[in-house]
Amino acid sequence: MTSAGGAGGRDRDAEGRARSARPRDGLGRPLPYGAEGVPRQPEGVVRAPEATVAEAQSLLDAGRPFHAHEVFEDAWKSGPEEERALWRGLAQLSVGLTHAARGNALGGARLLRRGAGAVEDWERERGEDRPYGMDLAGVVRWARELAGRVEAGSGPVDAATESPRLGP
C-alpha cells in the first residue's frame, strides 16, 4: 500500500488502484492517518461457507458489521453462482446494521429491508431455510424489526447488542 499523495492525492495499492490506507474504526469509518484503528478484513479470501458464517458471526458479535460485510462479500464474489444472491443479501444486512449504528436511519432501514428481501427471495427460490446452519427466517425477522425501529427514530443502535444470530 502506498501512502497518500499518489496520483490525484489518493492512496493506491501496489497495482495502482485507489485504496484508502487510513485506519478505520469498528464501523468502518475512516480515522485520521496515524490513529489507532481496528484490524481490517483481508479482501478476496475464499472460505468454506461454514467458515464464512462463523467469521461473520464473530465480527457481528464484536460490533463490527462493516467488517462482517467484507466477509460476506468475499463469499458472494467467490462462491457458486446459485449462492451469490444469499451472500449479497447478508452483506446488505451487515451494511444496513452499519448505517443504523452510524446514525443513518434512512440508509440503514433501506439496506436492512433490501437485504431481508434478497435473503427471503433466495430462501423461497431454493427451498432452503437453514443453509450452513443459518436461520434465514429469523434473520429476515430481525432485519425488518430493526429497520422499523430505526426508521421510527430510535437513534443510532449499538451494533454489538443489535447484531443478529445467524444460527442456533
Measured between alpha carbons, how far is residue 27 from residues 39, 46, 80 in Å?
Answer: 12, 23, 28
Which residue matches cell numbers 460490533? 63
105 and 152 part of one domain: yes
68 and 128 part of one domain: yes
Q: What is the per-residue pLDDT for 50?
A: 96
Instruction: Please indicate whether residue 139 or residue 154 has the higher confidence score (pLDDT).
Output: 139
Residue 161 contacts by C-beta under 8 Å, 6 or more apart in sequence? none
102 and 137 part of one domain: yes
62 and 35 part of one domain: no
For 82, the enclosing helix (H) or strand (E) is: none
89 and 124 part of one domain: yes
Domain enclosing residue 31, as ranges: 1-40
67 and 27 part of one domain: no
Total tally of structural domains belonging to the chain: 2
pLDDT tens digits for range 73-110 = 999 999 999 999 999 999 999 999 999 999 999 999 99
Q: Classify residue 150: in a domain, yes or no.
A: yes
pTM of the predicted protein model: 0.85
